[in-house]
Every structure is written in C-alpha cells, then in structure tokens.
Amino acid sequence: MALTQSITVEALPDLLKHDTKVKLAGVDVDGMLRGKLVSKKKFLSIAKEGFGFCSVIFGWDMHDRTYDKELKISNKENGYRDLIAVPDLNSFRRIPWEDNVPFFLVSFFDDDSKPLCADPRGLIKATVEKLEKKGCNAMAGAELEFFQFKLPSSSSSTTDSPAPSVASYLNDNPPHTLPPLTEGMFGYSITRPTLNKSYYHEVYDSCAKFKCDLEGWHTESGPGVYEAALEFGQISEMADRASLFKYVVRSVASGYGITPCFMAKPRHGLPGNSGHTHVSVVDKDGKNLFFREEKDENAKYPDIAHLSDLGRHFLAGILDGLPDVMPMLAPTINSYKRLVENFWAPVTVSWGLEHRAASVRLIAPPTSKPGATRFEVRVPGADANPYFVMAAILALGWRGVEKKLEIPIPPLGKGQDVGGSADKGARLARSLREATDKFMSKDSIAREVFGDDFVDHFGGSRENEIRLWDEAVTDWELKRYIETV
C-alpha cells in the first residue's frame, strides 16, 4: 500500500540477513493492532501466500470479549475459523524501541482469497481503487490529540520497565484521580514540553525512525494534552501511519510511566481529543484536482470561487452522506460526549471556508496556496479507526463526484455558530445508538458505498458496544441515586 518503496519476496533474505525474528500485525475494527512475533524462517515461508490467523479478532471486542450476538465472520458455528493474513511487504519498518526488529503489517482475506469485508486495510484499499480506475488517487493528513497521564510511584512494575501499571492503579482508584502529565491549559507552549523533554523528543525521533514522520508536535489546550500532525501523504499510507502512531506513543510512553489516552472525551468540562482528517484528490502526476485554475466570479457561494467542479461534487458527497457513516467517525459511547456544543466540536452537517467550527473546513485560495486545496473533516475523534475515517470520507466524496451531487446547504460565514440560525444543516447523531441505527438502516448511504457485509459486521460490533453500555452501572448513577431514591 505504501508508495515510497517496493519490496519483493525475492529481496527478503538479503533485507533480513542479520535478523532472527519478525513482528507482524493486522488491524481490527476498533483500530487495534493484533499480531505476533514469528521466526525469520516462518516469515520467509509465508511472505508470499500468507498464513492462518484466528478470525476471533473480528469476533470479539476491544477487551477480547466475544460478541453476544455472533457475527458472520467469526463465531462458534464456524469454529472461529482461520483467516489468511498476507504480509504487505511495502509496509516494512524496524521497531527502534525493540532493538530494530523488522515489522510488517498484514491484510486479511477469506479462505477464497477475497479481501475480508471488515479488514480496515482492505476497506481503504478498495476505496482507493475506485479512484485509480479513473486515473486519480487521494492524499491525506491526520491530526491526533491525546491526553497523557503519569501515575504516582508504585511497586507495580514489569521486568522491562519500572513504570507502574495503569490497570493495577485503576483497580484501586477511580479514573478521575489519574494525575495529568502536566497541569493547566497551555496550548502551543514551547516551555511545557521541557518538563518531560526526554519523552517528548523520543516520541518525535521514534516516529521518524518508524516511518511515521511528524510535521508538527506540540502541546494542546488541556492538562497533559499533546497534538501530533502526521506528515501529509497518500491516503492508504496515511491510514497506516495514523494507526502506527498510537503504537509508537504507547510504546515510548510506557518506559516513562506515562499513559497516553486517545478516547474522545477523557475529562468532563474540557475539550475532547480530535482526529481531524485532511483529504484531497490528485491525478496520476500528483496535481491537486480540487483547485480551480481560474477564479469563478459567478460561484453560487464566494467560499467555492477557487474550488473545482470535482471538488464541489466531492464536498457535496461528504455533506450528503455524513449522517449515515457516523459510527465510522465516532465509534464509541464516549465519542458523543465530545460532539457537543461549545467545545470546538462540530455537531451539524456544516461547512465553510476556513471555518473551524464546521464539520468540513474548506482550505483553499485565497487563504492557502493552490496545491494545498483540501477538505479538513473535523468530526472524527482520536478514538476512531483511521482506516475507517479515511475510507468513509473518500467513499462519500467520490460518490458525490460520480453522481455529480450539488452542495446541499450554504456555508457558515465567519462568526456564524454551528447550530445557530444560519446553520441549515441537520444535527448529527447525539449517541452511538442513534448513529448506528442510521448506519444500518436499509437505505443507508453506508450500505451503498461499502456493501451490506461490512455494514452488518461493523454495525453489529457497535450494537454490542451499546448493549454493554446499557448494562453498565456508572459512578454518576451511584453518586446521584445511592442515598436519594
């Protein structure tokens, strides 16, 4: 999937001549890496045709609890069958914090060699192929915000690190007592990172060594909050790097007793963790196809005077389909605690030129250079699976291009609030239940662009998440009702 290297099976013995083992990982629907360490001999024997990988990673949730309502891919009836996992040789990296052990991502296939419908890497690949058939490709950028907590000293440790265990701490303490890495609201501070400078610079340097290069790395507004802007690149490769970035941060942080937290809303009363995603379409020569060569003096809206017809249709497609793919952008119960009014998060189907409160921010001349024309979709949180986010944006946009859809609502002007009288867009889902019902409905645009098999599987996994939430007894309920009812 990567465009920057081309590795063949024949080249592997020389590439790995000084190695004895290889680490492999695939991605599940929650965006979690699932993998194993294998011997070099084993890897070389399966590098071309793949190997069996238990399908249960598509039959259980993020805590390895099988879905109560079993889904088609993996279940008791099919014996939690094996899938075929095929290494993507062009995803080769070395893990700098593990003595440079070789690392490859895998993609999952059914036993008939068809791409698995729920494989995140397969989904973005299939979506990109629609553009490639028309001589196009897509570029993307990802910005991930996350809280960080540093546990008090503890006797709990592992053999490789003196860092205390988060799980052990939370067994004995409520989550709100987790101390942040730093206190206070210090967005874009150039002094706050010096308080943890070894960690701060090791993350940046490890990203570079692991081919997850960062364009920007800074504090965000919130106690212990950082933001990383990943280096702009081809969209499939960007999805890989956005996923692997979390792996880098968590691996480096563990050595410092720091716990990164990518959930959408870790703290009440504070802004949440965004996963803003930038997308553009290019031709085979890399030319940006969203830019209009000559300004349209008669554009319906001044905001789109420099946006090409293809770009306008792409925008229309995103706006038209956004409510139908919300679980792909906001996949957890907690996601919808971030998507509330007055916290720098979009809550309606909305757009505008350089409008940072809208769901879709158009970045185009005269406020950007022509080659940088793109859309920033501001709905996703850092908790979302980046493969699903980018596949959803690209699939909706390309549907708009194919159907030549027209922009359905006017832009928000400067100073106009999301949800105000000038906002003509529909309110986005307020809960995962509402979002999943829309996603799985018979006439959902998600079904149109991704097919029934994917929607039924991922939607079923979200229904499982909702059921677990329905059964949970929260601290809020205990505090409110324990003495009063």
Per-residue model confidence as pLDDT tens digits over 232-243: 999 999 999 999
Burial class (CB in 10 A: 0-12, 13-18, 19+), 286: exposed
User: Bigger pLDDT: 422 or 75?
Assistant: 75
- 192-217: buried (b, 16+ CB within 10 Å) or exposed (e) per residue? bbeebeebbebbbebbeebbbebeeb
Whether the per-residue pLDDT at 135 is higher than 70: the answer is yes
Gap between the Cα atoms of 67 and 53, Å rounded: 19
Give 450's pLDDT tier (boundaries 50, 70, 90): very high
pLDDT at 153: 66
Give 1's pLDDT tier (boundaries 50, 70, 90): very low
Cβ pair 381, 338 in contact under 8 A: yes
pLDDT at 113: 84
Whether the per-residue pLDDT at 97 is higher than 60: the answer is yes
Cβ pair 257, 151 in contact under 8 A: yes
Per-residue model confidence as pLDDT tens digits over 144-188: 999 999 987 644 444 455 556 777 788 888 888 889 999 999 999
**For residues 336, 341, 345 and 351, what is the CA-based torsion angle, rounded to 10 degrees?**
120
Gap between the Cα atoms of 382 and 250, Å rounded: 14
pLDDT at 351: 96
- C-alpha dist (Å) from residue 230 to 79, 110, 409, 420: 40, 32, 31, 33
pLDDT at 155: 42
Per-residue model confidence as pLDDT tens digits over 299-332: 999 999 999 999 999 999 999 999 999 999 999 9
Q: Averaged over 218-237, what is the pLDDT?
A: 97
pTM over 0.85: yes
Give 42's pLDDT tier (boundaries 50, 70, 90): very high
Rounded to 5°, angle at Cα 275 from 271 and 277? 135
Query: For strand 258-261 and strand 351-353, is the pairing parallel, antiparallel, or unpaired?
Result: unpaired
Cβ pair 216, 187 in contact under 8 A: no
Tokens 């850092």: give the residue. 382
Return the closest-CA partner of residue 221 out of 183, 251, 176.
Answer: 183
Strand partners, 150: 258
Q: Is the dihedral of CA 202, 207, 213, 219 positive or negative?
A: negative
Return the closest-CA partner of residue 384 out of 455, 332, 457.
Answer: 332
